Amino acid sequence: MGMTMTQKILASHAGLNEVKAGQLVEASVDLILGNDVTAPVAINEFRKLGAGHVFDKSKVAIVPDHFTPNKDIKSAENSKLLREFAAEQEIVNYFEVGRMGIEHCLIPEKGLAAPGELIVGADSHTCTYGALGAFSTGVGSTDMACAMATGKLWFRVPRAVKFALTGMPGPFIGGKDVILHIIGKIGVDGALYQSMEFVGEGLKYLGIDDRFTIANMAIEAGGKNGVFPADDIALEYAKARVNREYTIYEADADAEYTDIIEINLSELRPAVSFPHLPENTKNVDEAEGVEIDQVVIGSCTNGRISDLRIAAGIMKGKKAHPRLRVIVLPGTQEIYLQAVREGLAEIFVEAGAVFSTPTCGPCLGGYMGILAKGERALSTTNRNFVGRMGHPESEVYLCGPAVAAASALTGKITGPEAVISAE
């Protein structure tokens, strides 16, 4: 029996000719990632191990992004710990305020993720880099500590489910709509500890930013990772940023999958996920009219330049509903600057939105967008659990940038077509 993309990457990094689902392997890692919430714990565990130095100072990345710029004394102390550790260990890829961004936007932008690599991070959405044909997955802070010390971790080789994408998506359909549809179809545990492998002729209609979004949210279906073939779209992105050799892995024709699920992209409508699970997905037509108090456009799912262009295109020359708070968060400083140069920042500010520094703050209910009791947010973030963005009795609805921008103008969940046709 052949191997899937994920199995081939794990076999290669374990020094084996082949692996099978369920097998335990010790594999070498190419990159270890931590942020200002998880890395402090990992650093303390690293000290307990008695490790003097990280195994490779160029293969550890530390990105303070969750509470950065620091929101309080505790977050400042955590960031100080990261700063001192990075200096002591001579960490090459430490990103201070001003150079930082939302980690899962920043890592690929900086060329730190490449096809065929094995990447782990002490953040569940580390699976983002599967968009480039890498095996990337989230781990705990203790695992991060062990990986920093040894350069290796143990993995149980996952089974895989194949998603065969066909058809051409209609207007305003992006990666967020695709993955919300999939999670709605299979549930939040539908791919539990499985590799979600995306293939098919429909991939040619999904840009790299769409793929980052889809891979990012594999964890929301319980997936161990999400991965795409390293096709021309992925390689164009990688070649512009990665300055080292990498290996492309393709699934064997006889690879074994637990299921093959076909998704016709031409049949999709813009999606909205209702509280309090990402699987509670409906078409925007079923969600229209739900009143909201706040709109957030950004995060590691939809904070890239293509997302901001979509939102700005809908909001240009218009005003946000006066009852709303609208918060726009570019994913990195580079994206921020590009948005300024393209005039997108001006569009958002003139519409009455806040255009802010890159941060994860609102997504996890940290700061810069906390919800009060009874309030309702529509957000391009990736989770809508109870209390995710603030008070336990608040609500979060998930969507893509087109629906978010259209709804920002009306004060209630609105399909983008409705706003466009009203012009």
Residue ranges and CATH numbers for the domains of the chain are 5-264 (3.30.499.10), 271-421 (3.30.499.10)
Written in H, E and C, the secondary structure of 149-169 is: HHCEEEEECCEEEEEEEECCC
- The radius of gyration computed from the CA coordinates of the chain, to the nearest angstrom, equals 21
How many CB atoms neighbour CB 270 within 10 A?
25
Q: Which two tokens stand for residue 313?
A: 């295109």
Taking the alpha carbons at both ends of the chain, their separation in whole angstroms is: 57
CA dihedral sign of residues 295, 179, 153, 103:
negative
pLDDT reported for residue 130: 97
Residues whose CB is less than 8 angstroms from the CB of residue 226 and which lie 6 or more positions away in sequence, other chains included: 127, 130, 131, 195, 196, 197, 198, 214, 215, 216, 217, 218
SS3 27: strand
CA distance 337 to 347: 14
**pLDDT number for residue 367:** 87
pTM over 0.85: yes
Query: In DSSP terms, which residues pair with 156 in a beta bridge?
Result: 24
Nearest Cα to Cα of residue 185 among 210, 165, 208, 212: 165
Question: In a 10 Å sphere around its CB, with 0-12 CB exposed, 13-18 middle and 19+ buried, how is residue 7 labelled?
Answer: buried
* pLDDT per residue of the chain (423 residues) written in tens, 0 to 9: 799 999 999 999 999 999 999 999 999 999 999 999 999 999 999 999 988 899 999 999 999 999 988 889 999 999 999 999 999 999 999 999 988 899 999 999 999 999 999 999 999 999 999 999 999 999 999 999 999 999 999 999 999 999 999 999 999 999 999 999 999 999 999 999 999 999 999 999 999 999 999 999 999 999 999 999 999 999 999 999 999 999 999 999 999 999 999 999 999 999 999 999 999 999 999 999 999 999 999 999 999 999 999 999 999 999 999 999 999 999 999 999 999 999 999 999 999 999 999 998 888 888 889 999 999 999 999 999 988 989 999 999 999 999 999 999 999 999 998 877 665
- pLDDT value at position 361? 84
Q: Helices 175-186 and 208-216 sit at what angle, rounded to 10 degrees?
A: 30
SS3 166: strand
Give the pLDDT of residue 421. Answer: 63
| 3-class secondary-structure state, position 255 | strand
In this predicted structure, what is the pLDDT of residue 364? Answer: 85
Tokens, residue 92: 């090459």
